[in-house]
């Protein structure tokens, strides 16, 4: 455990948040099913349920090859570096990918020094266990912010009941990372985490114009209102997957 008193800790998903891996997950799932001899309906569910088993190792090896190839051609989203450089706390990546291709990606794009640790599936087969591990490392942290493009992962994070702000990021809807966590200026202001959200549904109060103007150049957030309606359990972000990167169907 490490001393991080007073720090903010940012926990980012990888595929769908930091970058987009070009992998046909449905095809990979079918190939994995043939290797283990039974149908895998959800790769994410399989990895969590079979963690530590021989079947897990077989599928992990298969996935790692696809992930490494995809990571070689992938590029980070344009806003990732700015967020990591401006955050002012510690940053982690918690991913259901293997950590090896993720670290290779970070090194390739000069981002490795901005991320304290990559926590991949070989360490923990479930995203919530990855988050708990990071919380255990960062004792005394002021707050934790977890960003994922999977609604299921965000919902599971919220159910932990811990000091974690769980944020759903929908790149496919045009949302940016800085917008999702309410703009880079908020990091330096160290505002209470509850202030990072504003109502957006019809009939709810919106921020004043002066507050909206104060957000300045931070993209869609400057127009006022949160881009995140209440989560619907079981619905995935971006139209269809309940595990980051590794599609369930």
Res 178: pLDDT: 87
Task: Give the C-alpha separation, 174 to 178, whole Å.
Answer: 12
Q: Which domains does the chain have, with CATH numbers?
A: 2-16+80-223 (3.40.50.1000), 25-73 (no CATH)
Place of tokens 């809807």: 173
The pLDDT value recorded for residue 140 is: 87
pLDDT digits (tens, 9 = 90+) for 61-95: 999 999 999 999 999 999 999 999 988 899 999 99
Buried b (16+ CB within 10 A) or exposed e, 207-237: beeeebeebeebbbbeebbbbbeeeeeeebb
Residue whose C-alpha is closest to residue 4's, from 117, 160, 99, 112: 117
**Whole-number pLDDT of residue 146:** 95
11-31 pLDDT, tens digit per residue, is 999 999 999 999 999 999 999
C-alpha 40/C-alpha 33 separation (Å) is: 5
pLDDT, tens digit, 9 for 90 and up, residues 151-169 = 999 999 888 877 899 999 9
């Amino acid at each position: 455990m490490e001393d991080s008193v007073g720090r903010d800790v940012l926990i980012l998903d990888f595929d769908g948040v930091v970058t987009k891996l070009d992998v046909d997950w449905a095809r990979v799932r079918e190939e994995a099913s043939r290797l283990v001899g039974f149908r895998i309906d959800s790769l994410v569910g399989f990895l969590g349920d079979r963690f530590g088993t021989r079947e897990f190792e077989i599928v992990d090896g298969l996935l790692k090859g696809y992930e490494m190839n995809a990571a070689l051609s992938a590029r980070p989203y344009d806003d990732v570096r700015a967020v990591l450089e401006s955050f002012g706390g510690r940053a982690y990546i918690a991913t259901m990918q293997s950590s090896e291709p993720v670290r290779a990606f970070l090194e390739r794009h000069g981002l490795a020094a901005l991320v304290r640790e990559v926590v991949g599936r070989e360490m923990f087969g479930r995203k919530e266990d990855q988050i708990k591990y990071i919380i255990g490392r960062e004792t005394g942290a002021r707050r934790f912010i977890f960003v994922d493009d999977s609604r299921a992962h965000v919902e599971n994070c919220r159910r932990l009941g811990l000091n974690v702000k769980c944020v759903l990021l929908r790149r496919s809807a045009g949302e940016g990372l800085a917008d999702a966590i309410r703009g880079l200026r908020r990091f330096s202001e160290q505002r209470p985490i509850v202030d990072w959200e504003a109502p957006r549904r019809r009939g709810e109060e919106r921020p004043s114009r002066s507050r909206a103007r104060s957000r300045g150049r931070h993209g869609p957030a400057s127009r006022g209102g949160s881009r995140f309606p209440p989560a619907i359990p079981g619905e995935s972000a971006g139209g269809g997957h309940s595990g980051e990167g590794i599609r369930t169907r």
